[in-house]
Each structure stands twice: as C-alpha cells, then as structure tokens.
C-alpha cells in the first residue's frame, strides 16, 4: 500500500519548494524528510523531485503525484468538518473568489441575500483573476466575482455573466462636501483631496479616462485596493472617493459621509463567473437571482 505519511512529506516539500523550508514547517530534521521522500520515490519507481537553484522542482512524474496529493490532502482537511456536520447537521458552504480591485462594498451587497442562510459558512478569497479562475476550475470555489468577464478558454469550461453595471457616485465627509462643492461637481474635484482605487481595479482606468475627458487633474492623496478601507479613511476626513451605486447602501452605515455627485457615463462592472458544477449551487443561484432582480 501507498505510505501516506511519505506522500505527505513529499507534498509539503513540493509546496514549500525545498527540503529545508519543509523541515521548518514540519519541525523535523531535513535528513528525515529527505529519506522519507526517497522511500516514496522507490515505492513508485520514479524520481519525483529534482534540484532547482537552492530548492527543488517537480519532475513530470512529480507533477502527476503532486496533483493527486493535493486532492488527497484537501479532502483530508475537509474530514473534521464533515464529521462535525454528520453530528450537528449540514453546513451551507459558499466559497467566493473576489478579484483584486473589486469593490468590496459592492461584493457585500451582492452576497447579502444569502447572509441569513441557516448554518452558513461563507469563505471569501481575494486574488488575481487568473489564480481565482484556476481555483474555480478545480472546484475549490463556487463563484468568482470579477471586474471583467472570464477569458475564452474551452479547457476551463467556465461561464461568465455581467451581473452589475452600476453608476459611480462620489462621497466625502462634511468638511469636503458642502452646497458649493455639490453645485460645482465634477469640476470641484480639481480642488479636493481625492481617494481612488489602485490600478488593480478596472474602475480606476475608467475614472482616469473620465478625468481626461473633463480636463480634470485631481490631487490624489490615497490609493486603496479595498473599497471598504477607502471609505473608512474618507470618513476620517482624508478626502472624497468614488463608489458604485450598488455599494453605496453600505456607505450609509458610516457616519458623516455625504453624497457629492455622480460620474455621468462611468459605471462599475461586476461579472459572475461559474464552473458547470457551480451553476447548480443553490446559494450561487440565489445570489445571481437577487442581482438580476435589481
């Protein structure tokens, strides 16, 4: 039989990229781990790891073994939860990927329809779109929310749907938003401290084009990947900031923020990307149905 302890040591070495880092993670001697991996290679009849710089890399056989080990140990990590569920009742799991730069306020608004689900376990991962789509294709995620549609790739077998095309509004604290500023919006942005999403966000490029069209050169005093964090700093007086209409409802929870104006012609897109299996997830279906009803 396959020795799963040996397989686990190999899996950790491959993930860490070297025996020394794996030994530190496992709190074991390098020689012990190396010997166990050699035993695994001997039992399988193929070399799994090869030297690469100061670490190791996977051989072709190692890549096949690592892919299967990933499945095995991810299933193992789920076992304690599944045992608890068998006793306490099933948990409603929803794993969502949020692309870098996506408005987290808007994402919260999209997921809100399922937040009152009994025994909900919501897991949100943030990352680059390509990384999240890979996780989605492997069924590690049920849904990805991104600022762009999924690229055409028949190997991934993903479906993409434009879920939100929301207008963008500007908010700020009372000290920066008064009658005069609202009457002279958007030209007043040239005289106000401005907070913007970072270049990770598709909205940033749209706003830059909008500024160019109007001949505006705003003074940018802060850039944030997280729209919720951006709103917090704005509420503390740092400046004014844009947010999609979808996420603006959460702005009302922050005291002192006032509506400054709306960027005409500027919209934030959010695309829902699913695998074929994700199309049948009841919570995914509920999120999409609520978004369409908007």
Q: Around Cβ 279, how many Cβ atoms within 10 Å?
A: 13
Supply the Cα-derived Rg of the chain in whole angstroms: 24
Burial 103-133 (b: 16+ CB within 10 A, else e): bbbbbbbbbebbeeeeeeeeeeebeebeebb
Q: Around Cβ 194, how many Cβ atoms within 10 Å?
A: 24
The pair of three-digit structure tokens given for residue 175, joined into one six-digit string: 């000290």
Average of per-residue pLDDT across 147-159? 78
Sign of CA dihedral 93, 94, 100, 103: negative
Global pTM reads 0.62
3-state secondary structure of 48: coil
* pLDDT > 80? residue 242: yes
Distances (CA, A) of 203 to 43, 115, 174, 196, 206: 53, 26, 25, 9, 5
pLDDT for 290 equals: 92
Residues 253-284 have pLDDT tens digits of 667 889 999 999 999 889 999 987 777 899 99
- Paired residues of 125 in beta bridges: 97
- Banded pLDDT at 150 (limits 50, 70, 90): confident
What's the CA gap between 100 and 125, in Å, rounded? 10
What's the CA gap between 31 and 109, in Å, rounded? 52
What's the CA gap between 82 and 88, in Å, rounded? 10
Look at residues 156, 157, 158 and name the one whose alpha carbon lies nearest to residue 143. Answer: 158
Residues 163-197 have pLDDT tens digits of 888 899 999 999 999 999 999 999 999 999 999 99
Query: What distance lies between CA 92 and its chain's CA centroid?
Result: 20
Distances (CA, A) of 10 to 7, 24, 32, 38, 272: 5, 14, 12, 9, 36
What's the CA gap between 67 and 72, in Å, rounded? 9
Strands 193-197 and 219-224: parallel
pLDDT for 147 equals: 85
* pLDDT > 70? residue 154: no
* pLDDT > 90? residue 219: yes
**How much is the mean pLDDT over the chain?**
89
DSSP class per residue in 82-129: HHHHHHH---EEEEEEEETT--HHHHHHHHGGGTT-TTEEEEEEEE-H
């Amino acid at each position: 039989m396959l020795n799963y302890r040996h397989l686990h040591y190999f899996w950790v070495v491959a993930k860490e990229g070297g025996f020394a880092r794996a030994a530190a993670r496992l709190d074991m001697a390098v020689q012990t781990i190396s010997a166990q991996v050699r035993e695994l290679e001997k039992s399988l009849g193929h070399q799994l790891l090869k030297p690469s710089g100061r670490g190791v890399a996977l051989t072709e056989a190692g890549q096949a073994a690592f892919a299967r080990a990933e499945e095995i140990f991810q299933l193992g990590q789920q076992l304690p939860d599944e045992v608890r569920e068998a006793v306490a009742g099933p948990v409603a799991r929803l794993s969502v990927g949020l692309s870098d730069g996506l408005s987290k306020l808007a994402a919260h608004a999209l997921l809100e329809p399922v937040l009152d689900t009994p025994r909900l376990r919501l897991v949100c991962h943030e990352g680059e779109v390509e990384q999240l789509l890979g996780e989605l294709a492997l069924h590690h995620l049920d849904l990805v929310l991104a600022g762009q549609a999924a690229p055409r790739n028949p190997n991934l077998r993903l479906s993409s749907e434009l879920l939100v095309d929301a207008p963008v509004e500007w908010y700020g604290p009372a000290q920066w938003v008064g009658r005069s500023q609202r009457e002279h919006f958007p030209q007043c942005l040239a005289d106000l401290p401005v907070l913007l999403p970072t270049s990770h966000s598709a909205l940033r490029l749209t706003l830059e084009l909008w500024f160019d069209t109007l001949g505006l050169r705003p003074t940018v005093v802060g850039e944030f990947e997280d729209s919720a964090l951006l709103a917090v700093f704005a509420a503390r007086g740092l400046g004014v900031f844009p947010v999609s209409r979808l996420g603006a409802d959460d702005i009302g929870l922050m005291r002192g923020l006032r509506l400054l104006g709306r960027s005409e012609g500027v919209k934030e897109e959010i695309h829902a990307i699913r695998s074929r299996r994700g199309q049948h997830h009841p919570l995914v279906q509920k999120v999409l149905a609520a978004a369409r009803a908007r």
